[in-house]
Amino acid sequence: MKKHTLAGAALALTAVTAVSVSLTAPAAFAAPAARTSASHRIPFTAATVTAGDDGSYRIVWTAPGTRAVTIRANGHVVARGGAQGDVTVSGLPAADRQWFDLVPERGGSLHLADRLIKLDGAVNFRDAGGYRTADGHWVKMGEIYRSDALNKLTDADLAKLKRLGISSVYDLRMASERTSAPDRVPSGATYNVADVLAGSSTFTSMPTTEDEAVQMMVDGEKFMVSGDTARAAYRAVYAGVADDDQHGLLYHCTAGKDRTGWSSAALLTALGVPRATVMDDYLASNTYRAAVNAATLASMPAAQAKVYKPLLDVRAEYLNSGFDEVSDKYGSFTSYLREGVGIDARELRDLKKDLLVG
């Protein structure tokens, strides 16, 4: 039987018409160049880019009241549509990350790419942006990233991340994790330790039942909100997010799902992203980590796998317990930002001004 450590696994972690467009265009830029003017209302209520395994890209959008939307990539028009669209673009040259501009006939445009950054040595490395806020703004992409562990990144991965502009890394893991699996970071990037669980006794032993495992994850989520070391760690991360010199910032833990999950959940909530969207982002780790998690569980006897599975999952009850802890300990999310992680009203306005468009 293989030995599995807790730190290494439990925390490892619209009506449209489809159109296919194939074309050849100049090489894609590695990073976004155009910026949307914040003075223009963005009419899109939903928009995503998803990269296919065959090199194609599916762009789906909804822009009520808009008669025409133009899709551009690498300075060329690659598709057109109306208020709703679902197009697949193929034939673009290989790129570290392919960006698309969704340009409506009037109003602000969106600058989007697939959220996932495909790497050989990480499976849950993704953009923290690309979400719409409740008041119609959008969180910029290409600014803040989240990930699982970086110790298995290849040289090619590191070169890719450097080209994508990763300039600052915040390691949310415990000392034992950092020692056994030290980060590999892109050259020139600043490495920062922000140990979330250093003061927690929650993850010191393995659960013996499925219910104990679920409770461990719930208790851990609560600690991420109110634990002293957790608050200090997230205060450091958000100070980095607020620092203009640190854009291209990445925060990560082992699986990129729990400590990293709360980091993104709190940031997106602070920016005004609806709770349902925040939850979708959180639960996406189940999709990105599906193959890895399945392999881990398959290597165990069935009884052990049943106990272990809650530790590998992200579940709505876990994240909800964090938001419940915010209410119980701070009364409101605004109070949590101010008292828990040191973001006052002025700093929050600055953060929104910096990271939102529209």
pLDDT band at 246 (very low <50, low <70, confident <90, very high): confident
Tens of pLDDT along 151-176? 999 999 999 999 999 999 999 999 99
Model pLDDT, residue 40: 74
Tell whether 121 is covered by a domain. Answer: yes
How many other C-beta atoms can be found within 10 angstroms of the C-beta atom of residue 185? Answer: 20
Model pLDDT, residue 1: 33
Model pLDDT, residue 244: 85
Q: Tell whether the model's pLDDT for residue 24 goes beyond 80.
A: no
Q: Tell whether the model's pLDDT for residue 72 goes beyond 50.
A: yes
Model pLDDT, residue 205: 81
Task: State the CATH number of the domain containing residue 229.
Answer: 3.90.190.10
Q: Are 220 and 227 in contact (CB under 8 A)?
A: no
Q: Tell whether the model's pLDDT for residue 141 goes beyond 70.
A: yes
Choose the catalytic residue: 92, 141, 164, 253.
253
Tell whether 1 is covered by a domain. Answer: no
Residue 330 domain boundaries: 6-357
Q: Tell whether the model's pLDDT for residue 112 goes beyond 50.
A: yes
CA angle (315, 286, 319) in 5-degree steps: 25
State the chain's mean pLDDT as an integer: 90
Tell whether 260 is covered by a domain. Answer: yes
Beta strands in the chain (DSSP E): 18-22, 46-51, 57-62, 69-73, 76-81, 84-90, 99-104, 110-113, 126-127, 138-139, 144-147, 168-171, 190-193, 249-252, 356-357
Count structural domains, the chain: 1
Q: Tell whether the model's pLDDT for residue 220 goes beyond 60.
A: yes
pLDDT band at 34 (very low <50, low <70, confident <90, very high): very low
- Cα(169)–Cα(83) distance, rounded to whole angstroms? 39
Q: Tell whether the model's pLDDT for residue 271 goes beyond 80.
A: yes
277 is catalytic: no
